[in-house]
């Protein structure tokens, strides 16, 4: 069946998520056996048109969305239409992507990379700041303190792998509602960069516009998180953690509303004050 007029063609996808935790033996301070759940971590090597690109260490929750989002955030594909199929095979720890027109500026982008900070280090290909000036976030969107509190409460009650096993970062895509805030997606992975990429990929698959959304992360607000949030067209970025100097400078440059150290009724507003109302 053909997609509706104007809608992107959805690529052929495998559905290859893995169990997110495993139980291992441990011993407590009294010498007692304590079966303990821990987070999974698996290498997933990405091949595009039979060319090996990168190996991602991932929890394995949403490998297809992670792959699509990684390609999107690296600016290696311009739209979902460019991707014909994404097939994950955990037996060999690989994902094969077939494109319709090849990667965008592959040689130039893949020739330069920046290894980013944080758990399960990420890699950003191409110049980290190359396209910042081309990002334009909507100026007319507003985030209220009431909605921020509702988001923080919703995330706090969300059932997560972190509560079971720890050792993961979580990211959420949320939308303001008249009665508070709705979490549209919640993704966890061993690195926050994987979680944001998976949400970016799912947004493409679901044709979701980011201009009225809020992005939440448990991790630090680094330059990578700021850039990826902005690339998704999302004007609001919230974290329970702190920030880095480059993350703050980029957020102010592009007009992103960034809030950190947000827990309970406490938060710090770092940039984009004009969009926030108390």
Find the largest Cα–Cα distance for the chain: 65
One pLDDT digit (tens) per residue for the chain, 278 residues: 445 556 678 999 999 999 888 888 988 889 999 998 888 889 999 999 999 999 999 989 999 999 999 999 988 999 999 999 999 999 999 999 999 999 988 777 776 554 454 444 455 555 556 677 788 899 999 999 999 999 999 988 876 766 666 667 889 999 999 888 999 999 988 888 899 999 999 999 999 999 999 999 988 898 889 999 999 999 999 999 999 998 999 999 999 999 999 998 999 999 999 999 98
Residue 132 has a pLDDT of 78
Distance CA 22, CA 37 (A): 6
Domain edges within the chain: 12-132, 143-277
Residue 120 has a pLDDT of 46
Residue-by-residue DSSP string for 30-90: TS-B--EEEE--EEEEEEETTEEEEEEEE--SSHHHHHHHHHHHTTS-SSGGGEEEEEEET
Cβ atoms of 59 and 75 closer than 8 Å? no
Pick the CATH number of 143-277 from 3.40.50.2300, 3.40.140.10, 3.30.470.10, 3.90.1150.10: 3.40.140.10
Instruction: Using CB atoms within 10 Å of the CB of residue 161, give its burial: 0 to 12 exposed, 13 to 18 middle, 19+ buried.
Output: buried
Residue 117 has a pLDDT of 46
Q: In what order do the strands lie in the sheet with 266-271?
A: 180-189, 169-177, 214-217, 236-239, 257-263, 266-271
Architecture per CATH, 12-132: Roll (3.10)
């Amino acid at each position: 069946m053909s997609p509706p007029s104007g809608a992107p063609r959805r690529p052929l996808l495998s559905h290859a998520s893995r169990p997110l935790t495993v139980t291992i033996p441990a011993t407590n301070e009294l010498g007692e056996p304590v079966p303990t759940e821990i987070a999974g971590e698996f290498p997933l090597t990405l091949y595009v048109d039979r060319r090996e690109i990168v190996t991602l260490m991932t929890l394995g929750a949403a490998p297809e969305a992670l792959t699509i989002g990684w390609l999107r955030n690296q600016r290696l594909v311009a739209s979902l239409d460019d991707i014909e199929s994404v097939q994950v095979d955990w037996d060999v720890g690989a994902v094969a992507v077939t494109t319709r027109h090849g990667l965008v500026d592959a040689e130039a982008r893949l020739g330069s990379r920046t290894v980013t900070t944080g758990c399960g280090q990420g890699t950003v290909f191409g110049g980290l700041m190359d396209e910042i000036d081309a990002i334009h976030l909507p100026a007319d969107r507003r985030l209220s303190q009431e909605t921020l509190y509702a988001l923080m409460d919703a995330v706090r009650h969300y059932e997560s792998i972190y509560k079971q096993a720890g050792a993961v970062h979580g990211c959420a895509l949320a939308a303001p509602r008249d009665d508070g805030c709705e979490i549209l997606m919640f993704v966890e992975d061993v690195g926050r960069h994987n979680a944001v990429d998976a949400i970016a990929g799912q947004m493409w698959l679901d044709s979701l516009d980011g201009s009225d959304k809020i992005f939440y992360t448990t991790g630090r607000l680094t330059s990578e998180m700021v850039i990826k949030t902005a690339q998704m067209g999302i004007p609001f970025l919230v974290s329970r953690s702190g920030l880095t100097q480059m993350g703050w400078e980029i957020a102010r440059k592009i007009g992103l509303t960034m809030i950190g150290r947000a827990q309970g009724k406490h938060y710090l507003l770092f940039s984009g004050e004009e969009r926030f109302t108390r």
